[in-house]
């Protein structure tokens, strides 16, 4: 009881927190729950999170001259995240990315999911983990390691997926200028696919400051998974050498972007899963260096480390006149995403690393963002 009272006091003490009532329309909802915004702060480094979709709503840090800026795209109100279609900052699942024809077979049984991307399922369906209210389990706003832990219970049959699943994510700040993300999920009673991804859109020059085509990106991945016209993997894992997908050396985002189809006629850009170099990945695996992004104008840089086999590199190809924070309008290539993950459509490709979690097993996904300037 004392811990619960302490948690409530912390929530009341957060001056920047906003709250609104929102109905949780799933079968396991009872009445209405509150949605809030929670700030983690360490000196001039701060991250704000809402329990709507376990979403990162802002990341504020200095540039090389000490000027502060928010470097992630988003909205001014919770309503923007509820109605938005871009997954700004959200934790997506139960299975991130695409599942072909919204179906898969597991233990001899066919499962049919919600189609929300043409004939396919994207990011868990039309009401995946990014579109539900998470429970705030712990929240420490300041100190040496500010953090927030959020919890969601996904029920058997939600969006068509089998089995009950208990999901946790912790966002934690560490010195100097590190954001750590710890995700885990336990399957309760049935085997089920699990592939969580953190879907923040990064613009190290500051959100709304223009496109990221001048940013340099280095991906520690010598292979990628080619896709068809619907952005579904073909099953091949191909070398990046000699292709426009090669970012083994630091390369401007825009250097070869016009050579890459974005999945629709007239749309160009990366929406590509890379196989991160290294032997081991997944629960219990050591963190591996995944990517480095640099913005020359601001001097900001971001390293990403994680323990997953893949990373989705997305260049905001479908952003078009999206009204964001402070009335700013986000356009095409206005940010980039680096979503560590299992391979897309792995449930339909036995040769890909498995995403199946058996009853009692725990899925673990760790990420570290290291910022410098």
| Catalytic residue set | 199, 339
Is position 200 annotated in a ligand binding site?
yes
Q: Are 135 and 152 in contact (CB under 8 A)?
A: yes
DSSP 17-72: --EEEEE--STT--SEEEEEEEEEEETTEEEEEETBTTEEEEEEEE-TTS-EEE-B
Is position 345 annotated in a ligand binding site?
no
Q: Are 368 and 178 in contact (CB under 8 A)?
A: yes
Where are the strands (E) in 175-299, listed by range? 178-187, 192-193, 197-199, 216-219, 223-224, 238-239, 251-252, 271-275, 288-294
Structure-token pair, residue 191: 């085997």
Give the SS3 label for residue 294. Answer: strand
Cα–Cα distance between 189 and 86 in angstroms, integer? Answer: 32
Is position 201 annotated in a ligand binding site?
yes
Distance of alpha carbon 346 from its chain centroid, rounded? Answer: 18
Give the SS3 label for residue 258. Answer: helix
Is position 28 annotated in a ligand binding site?
no
9: phi then psi, degrees, rounded to nearest 5:
-65, -40
* HEC readout, 115-137: CCECCEEECCCCCCHHHCECEEE
Which residues are documented as binding site? 97-98, 199-201, 271
Which residues are documented as binding site for beta-D-galactose? 97-98, 199-201, 271
């Amino acid at each position: 009881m004392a811990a619960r009272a302490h948690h409530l006091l912390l929530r009341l003490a957060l001056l920047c927190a906003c709250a609104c009532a929102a109905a949780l329309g799933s079968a396991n909802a009872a009445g209405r729950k509150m949605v809030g915004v929670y700030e983690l702060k360490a000196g001039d480094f701060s991250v704000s999170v809402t329990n709507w979709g376990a979403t990162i709503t802002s990341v504020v840090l200095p540039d090389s001259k000490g000027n502060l800026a928010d470097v992630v795209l988003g909205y001014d109100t919770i309503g923007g995240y509820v109605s938005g279609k871009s997954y700004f900052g959200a934790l997506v699942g139960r299975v991130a990315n695409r599942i072909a024809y919204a179906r898969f077979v597991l233990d001899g049984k066919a499962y049919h999911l919600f189609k929300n991307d043409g004939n396919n399922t994207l990011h868990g369906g039309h009401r995946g983990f990014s579109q539900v209210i998470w429970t705030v389990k712990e929240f420490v706003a300041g100190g040496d390691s500010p953090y927030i832990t959020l919890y969601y219970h996904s029920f058997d049959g939600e969006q068509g997926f089998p089995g009950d699943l208990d999901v946790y994510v912790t966002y934690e700040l560490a010195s100097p200028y590190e954001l750590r993300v710890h995700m885990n999920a336990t399957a309760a009673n049935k085997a089920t696919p699990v592939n969580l991804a953190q879907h923040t859109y990064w613009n190290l020059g500051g959100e709304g400051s223009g496109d990221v085509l001048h940013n340099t990106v280095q991906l520690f991945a010598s292979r990628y998974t080619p896709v068809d016209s619907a952005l579904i993997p073909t099953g091949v894992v191909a070398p990046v050498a000699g292709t426009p997908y090669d970012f083994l050396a630091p390369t401007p985002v825009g250097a070869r972007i016009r050579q890459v189809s974005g999945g629709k006629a007239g749309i160009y850009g990366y929406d590509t899963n890379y196989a991160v170099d290294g032997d081991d990945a997944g629960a219990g695996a050591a963190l591996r260096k995944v990517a480095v992004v640099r913005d020359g104008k601001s001097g900001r840089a971001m390293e990403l480390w994680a323990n997953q086999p893949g990373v989705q590199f997305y260049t905001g190809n479908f952003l078009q006149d999206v009204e964001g924070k402070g009335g700013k309008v986000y356009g095409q290539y206005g940010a980039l995403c680096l979503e560590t993950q299992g391979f897309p459509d792995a449930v339909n490709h036995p040769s890909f690393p498995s995403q199946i979690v058996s009853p009692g097993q725990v899925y673990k996904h760790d990420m570290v963002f290291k910022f410098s300037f």
